[in-house]
Amino acid sequence: MTFIRIVLFCVVVSFSAQGQILNKKNLTVYDGFFKFYYEKENDKIYLEVDSLNTEFLYINSLASGIGSNDIGLDRGKLGQERLVYFKKAGNKLLLIQPNLKYRANTKNDLERKSIEQAFAKSVLFGFKILSDTNGKYIIDFTPFLMQDTQGVAGVLKSKKEGSFKLDASKSALSLERTKAFPKNVEFEALLTFKGEPTGRNLRTVVPTSSLVAVIQHHSFVALPDSDYTPRKFDPRSGAIYTSYMDYATPIQEPITKRFIIRHRLKKKNPNALISEPEEPIIYYLDPGTPEPVRSALLDGASWWNQAFEAIGYTNAFQVKMLPEDADPMDCRYNVIQWVHRSTRGWSYGASVVDPRTGEIIKGHVSLGSLRVRQDYMIAQALMNKPFVESDGDYQPMLDMALARIRQLSAHEVGHTLGFTHNFAASTNGRSSVMDYPHPKLAFKDSQLDMTQAYDVGIGEWDKITVAYSYSDFKYGVDEKAELNTILKKAQEDGLRFITDSDARASGGAHLLAHLWDNGKTPYDELNEVLDVRQQAISNFSEDNIRSFETYSSLEDIFVPLYFYHRYQTEATTKVIGGLDYNYKLKDDGQFSVRPVNVQIQKNALEAVLNTINAKVLAIPKDKLELFPPRAYGNNRTRESFKGKTGVSFDPLSAASTASEFTLSFLLHPQRVNRILLQKSLDDEQLGLVEVFNELVNASFKTSYKDDYFNNIQQQINVNVLNHLMNTALNEDAYFQVRSLALEAINAISSLLYDKKKPVLYADQYRYMINEFREHPEKFKLDSAPKIPDGSPIGGGLCTYNPN
C-alpha cells in the first residue's frame, strides 16, 4: 500500500460554484479521494460524486465500543467491507454493492451480463441529487453516516440486552476523525441508542444503561491498482482464503476459485537472493498501550520479520509506534490496538481485503487488555509461596505473563498477514505461533520452573506459511512447482498443519490438533500437567497472595489452578476413538487417514480416568481453611467456583464440575460412535464395552475409607450414571451404542443389589435407574455447576476473517 502522509486540507469558504444548495452556506471543505463539505449550522456533510460506476471499498467499523466481551461491540471492531459504486438512477444516486461471489471472468460481455443478472446486487443507499454541475453531483451524505450500519441495535437484541433504537436527537456527526486523504476518506458519527435494558451485561458497562453511545466509523477507500497477482490457495498451506464461483470456467475445470489473502510484497530485485522490498509491510502499535506491555507487543509482532528474512527479504516486515496524530481507524495503517473491556475476552486479527483479488489492504489486530492479568494470576497460583519473603517478588509472574502476550501479539498479527491456526504445531516442537499455547511448566526442587513456559520467536511452520504466501519468485520460474516444493519440504521436515474445523469441536478426532495443549503424546502430557497441578495445590498457601489481601482472592486464584488440566484432558479424550490424518492431495506423498494406535488410545483412556479420580479432584482438607466465606465487598463472580453450599466453599461441587467436564468429552456421541466403529473394523482396537467397563470400575467399583473421598466419589458416580443414561437416550448415538450404554447401566444396577459389597447410597441410585427406565422421556442431563468461563489462558475464541 502506498503510504503518503498528507496534512488535512481544511478551509472555510463561502461556496458558490456548486449550485444553489451549497450557495449560501459557510462550509468546511475536505478534499481527498472524495471531496466533501461540512455545514456546521445543520450538522450535515455533503458529498461530491464526480465519478459514477467506479468501484471502491466501503468499510464500516466501531471507533469507540461498549466494552463488554459478551456483547462483542468493541473499540476498533471492523464491520463489513464491501466493494461499491455510485450509479445514477433518475434523480437519485444509488450506492450499489455488486455480487462478487458469482462472476464470469470472460471477455464476452453478454456472458458476463448473464451472470450479473442471475444473482442479486445490494443497493446500500439512495441519495437525492441536490445539484448536478457538469457531472459533479452533490448529495446529502448525513443520513448515510447516521445509520446503524454496524448493527448495534441488532446485536443488543440478539444478546438479549433489550430493544434499542437509534435516537437521532442524541446523535451527531463526529468531526475529530473525519478526514480526507488522497486514497481514502474517513467519517465518524456518534450514535446514541435508546431502549430498555433487559440483560445483565449492558448494565455493568454503560453509565446510564438505557442510553448507549458509540462512535461509528466509515471509510471509503480507493481500490489498489492491478499490479498484484493473486496466489492460488492450497489446503496444505495454512493460508486464509477467499473464494468465488467463475461461471466462465470450462466444464472440465473446477468452478470455485480460491485465492489466499496476503499483503502486496515484492522484492526490489526479484533476481537477488536477498533484497529489500519495494514497499515494506508496516504494523503500527496503538500509542495508548502502556509499558511493559508495549515493548512485549512490539517484540512479539516483530518476530515475523524472521520468516520474511528466511525467504530473502530485508526489512520487509516492520513494527512501529503509531504516530500520535495518526488515526488507528485510518484505512492506510495496519494497526495493533490494545482494547479494554469490563471482562477478559478474546483477541482478534481482522483484515480489510480487496474482494476481487484477496490482497490485504489493512490488518487490524485487537488485543484484549485483561488477559495478561489472567496469565499473571495463573503463574501466581502455580508458584510455590511467591510472596513469602516480600510483596515485591512479582517479577517471575509478570515475566511469564509478558512472555505469553509476546506470543499473542505474533499470533494475532499472523492472522492479519493471512494465516489461519495450526493446532497441530504444539505437538511438534511448538512449530507455530498460530497455535494456542498452554504454559509448559514443571517443578524443580519444589520450585516452579517457568523458563520454558512460552516459546520465543517465530516457528518453523510460520516460515513455511510466509514462504508459501509471500515468496517473490524470479521471472520465468514455475510458481506452482515452487510452491509445491515449499510444502513438500515442510512435509519432509515432519511439520503438520491441521486447523480449526478439526480441532475446535468437542467431538473432534485428530491425534495432534488440539487447543491449549502441549507435547507429542497427549496422555504423557496430561499426566505431567496433573503432577504440576497436584504439586501446586499441595504448595498452595496464604503466601500465594500479598500481605493484607483478602482471603477471598485466594479462592479466585485457586480456580485456574484447580482446572489447570482441563485443556490437556480435552486433548487426550480426542485421541480415544481418534484418527490421524492430513489434508491430502493426490500424489502429494502424504498419508490420508489411519486410526490412532490402540495402545495410544488405551494409555489415553487410563490418563483421562485419572481426571475423574476422587483423590485427584479432592481439594486437600488442610487447604479448605484458605477458602472462608467471602469477605465483605468481595462477592463471588463469574470467574468463581459455583457451589451448592451457600456462603461456604463447596469442594464437592468443584469435583463434580471437573468430572462432568471430562465425561462430556469422553462420551460425546460422535466419539462413542467412532469407538464402536473402529472396533468393528479391527477387533484389536479399543471398543466401547471396554470404555464403559473402565468407567464403571473408576466410579461405582471404587470406594475409600475416608468419608471425604467417598463423598467426592459420589459426585463422580452420579455424573457417570447420568452420562451413561444420556448416551443411552441420545439420538445422535448409534443404536448399538445406546444399547451398550443400557448394558452398562444394568451392570451398575446389579452392583447396587450386591449384598456382599454394599454400594453407598444404593437406594438413591436404584431410584434414579428405576425412574430412568420407567420415564425415559423425563430424563434430563442434570449438569453439575458450570465450570467458570473457559480458556483462561488465552481468552476463548480468536476470530479472524472467516471464509
In the complex, which residues of this chain contact Zn ion (CB under 5 A)? 798
- Tabulate helix, strand, coil % of the chain (nearest 5): 35, 20, 45
Q: How far is the CB of 240 from Zn ion (least distance, A)?
A: 11
Number of other CB atoms surrounding residue 465 within 10 Å: 29
Cβ pair 583, 236 in contact under 8 A: yes
Q: How far is the CB of 415 from Zn ion (least distance, A)?
A: 6
Cα–chain-centroid distance for residue 58? 25
State which amino acid sits at residue 608.
Answer: V
Cα–chain-centroid distance for residue 290? 24
Cβ pair 663, 723 in contact under 8 A: yes
Q: How far is the CB of 490 from Zn ion (least distance, A)?
A: 20
Cβ pair 436, 515 in contact under 8 A: yes
| DSSP H or E run through 762 | helix 762-774
Omega cis (within 30) before 788:
no
Residue 179 or 262: the one with the smaller Cβ distance to Zn ion is: 262
Q: How far is the CB of 756 from Zn ion (least distance, A)?
A: 56
Residue nearest to Zn ion (CB): 798
Residue 417 or 691: the one with the smaller Cβ distance to Zn ion is: 417
Cβ pair 312, 301 in contact under 8 A: no
Report the C-alpha gap between 260 and 734 in whole angstroms: 39
Helical H segments across 121-264, by residue range:
142-145, 152-158, 201-205
Residue 277 or 508: the one with the smaller Cβ distance to Zn ion is: 508
**Backbone phi and psi for residue 80, each to the nearest 5 degrees, phi listed first:** -85, 155
Q: How far is the CB of 421 from Zn ion (least distance, A)?
A: 5
Residue 205 or 365: the one with the smaller Cβ distance to Zn ion is: 365
From residue 619, how far is each of 253, 418, 693, 708 by CA, in Å? Answer: 62, 45, 27, 10
Q: How far is the CB of 416 from Zn ion (least distance, A)?
A: 10
Does the CA dihedral 46-48-52-54 come out positive or negative? negative
Q: How far is the CB of 425 from Zn ion (least distance, A)?
A: 12
Locate cell 512447482: which residue? 481
β-bridge mates for residue 442, sequence order:
449
Residue 416 or 613: the one with the smaller Cβ distance to Zn ion is: 416
Residue 403 or 720: the one with the smaller Cβ distance to Zn ion is: 403
Cβ pair 375, 367 in contact under 8 A: no
CB proximity list for 278: less than 8 A, separation 6 or greater: 265, 266, 267, 268
Residue 365 or 798: the one with the smaller Cβ distance to Zn ion is: 798
Residue 262 or 264: the one with the smaller Cβ distance to Zn ion is: 262
Q: How far is the CB of 434 from Zn ion (least distance, A)?
A: 7
Q: Buried (b) or exposed (e) across 703-739, using 16+ Cβ within 10 A? A: beeeebbbbbbbbbbbbbbbbbbbbbbbeebbeebbe
Q: How far is the CB of 798 from Zn ion (least distance, A)?
A: 3
Q: How far is the CB of 411 from Zn ion (least distance, A)?
A: 5
Among 341, 339, 326, smallest CA distance to 297 is for 339
Residue 403 or 612: the one with the smaller Cβ distance to Zn ion is: 403
Report the C-alpha gap between 516 and 193 in whole angstroms: 39
Total count of residues recorded for the chain: 803
Residue 427 or 499: the one with the smaller Cβ distance to Zn ion is: 499
Terminal CA-CA length for the chain: 23
Q: How far is the CB of 419 from Zn ion (least distance, A)?
A: 9
Residue 51 or 501: the one with the smaller Cβ distance to Zn ion is: 501
Q: How far is the CB of 346 from Zn ion (least distance, A)?
A: 9
Locate cell 468501484: which residue? 55
Residue 100 or 797: the one with the smaller Cβ distance to Zn ion is: 797
